[in-house]
Structure 1
Amino acid sequence: MTTPERPRRHLPIALVVWTLGATAFLGLGAVVATAPSSWLVEDIPQSVMSEQLTRTALAARQLQRALDSGASDLNAVAAGIRTLNDIDTPGRLLTQLVATRTRYRGAAYLSPNGTVVAKAGEDVDAGAIAASDKPALAAAAPQGVSPRVFVAVPVPGDRAGRIVAEFKPQALISPLALAGPGNTRLLNADRLVIGATSGFTAFEPLSRPDLDQAAQSAKTAGAGAALHDVDGRRHLVSWAPVTTTEQTRQLGLTVVTDRPETSLTLPHSSERNELVLLGVLIASLTVVIFGWLYAVVISPLWALARDAGRIAGGDLATPVIVRRYDHLGLIARDLERVRRGLLGRS
């Protein structure tokens, strides 16, 4: 009795061609998508740096205006207290202030000896800002999870005292959006982060030396901008101090904006983006087309070759499954007919 001859192993040419083709097209898509970052390196124009510097300085000026508006708001309340000699006037005016000016956490009217005469909103730590005969700003010592900035104005005349209000942290952060894309940070006099356009931890130090250097330059030389290489990528850093002509309103705040090169609009940015999209399109079409070829051609051919080799080797017990009705299906049916014929003869 002769044993069935084992089928010869053969090289699946179709699978090899399919694999090489899919690999080549996926590689082409990857090269097209990633190559621009290496060969489309260009200088960042001075106009781009000047524009970013202008945006950062605008954010600093808008923040100072928001702080100065606190003095204007409280001066209006103080004028009302002096004019309307009514015991309920301070409380009513403060309540109206906190309700209509959402930038305040709370406000309080204090007598000359520090006693709270009226208040609205949350409690205000009036001791955090020293008494002065002029409108003043002050930042409390770093503690807790958010910065605390206060504004105070004196109330002269028969109803002497002072009005103190505390800003909400969001009132300090909102103007930073004017600096544009990237991460814009607000630093206190100790160069600790007290606000940012993206996630931050209050009172954390700057994580990069170039940002700390920018904050120092803002104090010593005013607004400016510079390019820095960070982990192999260029970053445009701009800075501007938050200044005012009133000495009692100086807080030593600084605005620092950090923009990676990928967020800048450069002459070749559109070309780079188009090539990235082209690379992604090539890769996507490769997955779709070669996936379809594998499901419709390669896998059925491989199954037919396996069944034919099995039948040629004498294994007639397992039927050939017919799942389709195209040319490959016709071949599968004929192969099953051959298997049954050989099985009947045996």
Structure 2
Amino acid sequence: MLGGVRPPIAALVVLLLVVAALTVIGLDGIQAERIPQAVLNGEQQISADTALSVRTAIDVEASTVRRTANAYPATSTSTPATALKALTSARKAVLGSALLDPHTGKLLAAGGKPVPLAGVDVAGTASGHGAIRPRLVTSGGTRQLLYFARVTVPAQQEDANQDQYQAPSRPDRQWLLVVCETLPTLTTYGDGRTAEVLDASGTALATTVRGTASPAAADSGLPATAARAARDSGRDTDGSGSLLGATTGSRRTVAGWAQVASATGPGDADGLGLVVLTSRAVPATTGGADYSRFALEAAGALAGVALLLGLALHFLVQRPLLRLYLSAGRLARGATEGGPAALEELTRPVPVHGFGELARIGRALESLRRQLLGESGPQDFPARRGPGYRALAVAGVVVVACWAMPMIFLLNRADTATAVPAPVLADQQARTEIATNRIRQSLDQSYTDLSDVAAGLPGRSRAAQAEVLQRTLADHKQYRSLYLLDRSGGITLRVGGTPLRTLVHVPGGSGITTVNTSGRIPAIAAYSQVRAVKGKAPAAGVVLFGEIDVKALNSVLPRPKLGSVWVTDRDNRVLAASVGYRAFQSLPDPGLTRLARATQGAPGTAGTATSAVLRTSSGPSVDAAAPLAQSGPTAGLGWHVVTTEPAAALQIPAVQAEQRTMLAGILGLTLGAACLGWLHVVVIRPLRAVAVLVERLAGGDRRTVLHPVNHDEVGSVTRGLELMRQALAERDRAERDRAARSGHAAGPSQSLRQTTLQRQ
């Protein structure tokens, strides 16, 4: 049962003491370390982002090699040499290539540098039916990647004049294409940062440095430690972590490692055992705020408030109410029972305790006692009232608020300028640049794929062109629609969904653009000129457009602990985002818009990345912006990538202290107000109603029936008053009957004392 005066008061004291204990636990647990955990987490995420870029590059290259092999129009007369030249002549990244017999491993054709096949079981590699994963091999002391693909060649007929229905069917031939390439180019972001690609033993396969690396960052033991940690986490997972390296002066090396492996299922990079290690030297903090003393002081103050309120409510509400409950029960027994004991109950005056409603009820009960004894008649009470117990509840909320409001709005406020360590801000900018590079690579790949398709359209029939576009749409999931335009901008051939374009124009050259400026879905498209080739039939149009599904672009943006990511056009309108958005809306905060504009450089330049700490309604946030591209098909667009991460999610001590202090204040105020509200509902409000009813009863109202609502002290007082009302009403009715029988007007009411003596 939640009624009664005791539970709300006890809950108020206990819950406020619990909040005081949580305040000590929460704030005392914040440790100001020499290297903040946010810096370690940032380096870990940078290594994971870099590993993702390496993994994506390997997956894209492996898919491209397989797709090229599958699309090769081999005939029964194709030779290995001509097939190898056609398959690899357009690929600049190829160091060497070879066509092998998949059953015997015999070399059928070779191009470029010799392919290091020593130790490769060709027959075993080609025996499966699925895609063949890349292999990591050594050639001339350097590590290289081998990509594999199967090439199907129609079987040759022994006699061209033989009836095809009489000739025995021959199975198609298969060749194994092997392409040798270097490791993907490793790009590093953040001044002074070193990035390395390690093999399973911890040997560095590729190393890049951004700017000038600090001597403190040269820690020879980090690669072996990172490789060992990667092995312990499992070879085919995307595990990552952070490490602390050597200390040089006031700077210490912070490192992050991440495996180049897929997290969403089997991938081409799985099994290579590659690990990305990033590191840089950061200044160690010399000291930090100690929140232990503040936690004890705040908890002590709240404990004092809890005890003060508990004692005040005990002496001003609970004890007077319990005494009133006993007095009402005593009068009810005296009014309903006979004998000297009942008379003795009535002869004892009713003490008036407390103030407000309890005092009013006490005075009314004393009047009823006197009426039951016949010492007085009905008594009117003044309508003017003093402060009641509602004011006491409000005062209790104010007392709790005096502790909570400074906790919420004033104490331990993080300074926007100094709360976020400089390395954390630099890491957000570096991660934004990595995200920008990832988006740029995705758009560049879409453009490259479309250009390859456009180059193969001339010389084909319209049906063959439609088949090529349909196959391209099936192979490249990022496109939602492919179509050819004539010189007037009309669509002459289309596959896929209905185009979203609203800008009808025929651009010159090739690149990436937007084809609408309004609507529910932004339309980003790659386009390429379809060049006329002498001696070949012209294509169905002069420009090939491939509208990119914005969902595919949105899926590239999210990364752990990077926060919200937006891609904006040159007018800072949103084209894609990792969170919910409306097409072409403005950025959600003016500070983000100013930050995006700050990346713009001089006319004709792409600009540079920038970062800042902005104050929002929920606390400081770490924000960064970067131009999308400085070269390539997206360079002239003027697009930006903007990111924002709440500082509270980055384990920054000052921000954690602010958040936990605010949380303690909110909890204290909420629980205190809730308990006092509970007290108001179950005690104070019923008391106000009972006070009005008992004063009416003492004033002569014998008709209003008093119904107890709750089974608690106030309900018991109400039941006692109802018994007294019934006794008084019965006595008044008896007096009226006696007067009616005697024919005289009713005299003074017979007292309950006389009635009791007559019963004896």
Q: What TM-score do the two structures reach when normalised by structure 2? A: 0.38
Partner of 1:250: 635
What is the CA-CA distance between 1:65 and the residue it aligns to?
Answer: 1.0
In structure 1, what is the equivalent of residue 595 of structure 2? Answer: 211
Whether contact under 8 Å (2:404, 2:668) holds in the other structure is: yes
Q: Does 1:193 align with 2:569?
A: no
1:322 to 689, 704, 708: 708
1:236: how far off?
4.4
1:307 match: secondary structure: helix
Contact 2:562-2:645 at 8 Å conserved across structures:
no
Q: Number of aligned pairs?
A: 336
Answering whether residue 413 of structure 2 is matched by residue 39 of structure 1, we say yes
For the Cα contact (< 8 Å) 1:215–1:256, is it kept in 2? no
Q: CA deviation at 1:92?
A: 1.0
In the other structure, the counterpart of 1:104 is 479
Which residue of the partner structure matches residue 22 of structure 1?
397
Equivalent position to 1:285, from 671, 695, 718: 671
Q: What is the CA–CA distance in structure 1 between the aligned matches of 2:665 and 2:616, rounded to whole Å? A: 26
Work out the CA distance in 1 between the residues paired with 2:474 and 2:517: 27
Q: CA deviation at 1:270?
A: 3.0
Cα deviation digits, residues 10-48 of structure 1 (max 9, x gap): 535533322322333355444433445x63334321122
Amino acid across the alignment from 1:90: Q
Of residues 117, 128, 132, the one that matches 2:506 is 128
In structure 2, the partner of 1:60 is 436
CA contact (8 A) 1:308 1:335 kept: yes
- Give the equivalent residue in structure 2 for 1:90: 465
Once the 2 structures are TM-superposed, how far is the Cα of residue 164 of structure 1 from its aligned partner?
Answer: 1.4
Q: Highest CA radius of gyration, 1 or 2? A: 2
Could you say if the C-alpha distance between residues 30 and 322 of structure 1 is closer, same or farther in structure 2, counting changes exceeding 3 Å?
A: same
Kept in 2, the 8 Å contact 1:64–1:242? The answer is yes
Greater Cα shift, 112-121 or 64-73: 112-121
SS at structure 1 position matched to 2:629: coil
Residue 149 of structure 1 corresponds to: 525
Q: Counterpart in 1 of 2:381?
A: 7
Shift of the 169–93 alpha-carbon distance from structure 1 to 2, 3 Å rule, reads closer
TM-score, normalised by the number of residues in structure 1:
0.75
Shift in alpha-carbon separation, 1:333–1:63, aligned structure 2, 3 A: closer
Contact 1:28–1:279 at 8 Å: present in 2 too?
yes
1:167 aligns with 2:547: yes
Which digits, 9 at most, give the CA deviation of each residue in 1:211-258, with x for residues without a partner?
353242494542222345689976644222222644x55333332425
SS in 2 for 1:259: strand
Verify the 8 A CA contact 2:379 2:699 in the aligned structure 1. Answer: yes
Q: Which residue of 2 is the match for residue 304 of structure 1?
A: 690
Amino acid at match of 2:420: I
SS of residue paired to 2:420: coil
Amino acid in the other structure paired with 1:168: I
Is the 8 Å Cα contact of residues 173 and 195 (structure 1) preserved in structure 2? no
d(CA) in 2 for partners of 1:163, 1:317: 95
- Change beyond 3 A, Cα 1:143–1:331: closer
Distance 1:210 1:233, change over 3 A: farther
- Output the CA distance in 2 between the equivalents of 1:325 and 1:144: 65
What do the CA deviations read for 1:119-170 (whole angstroms, capped 9, x no partner)?
Answer: 423468895331x4xxx30425764433543321556563565661233361
Go from structure 1 to structure 2 and tell me whether the alpha carbon gap of 1:71 and 1:309 turns closer, same or farther (over 3 Å shift): closer
Higher relative contact order (CA 8 A, sep 6+): 1
Which runs of 5 or more structure 2 residues have no equivalent in the other structure?
1-375, 733-748, 750-760
Distance in 2 between the 1:107 and 1:220 partners?
A: 29
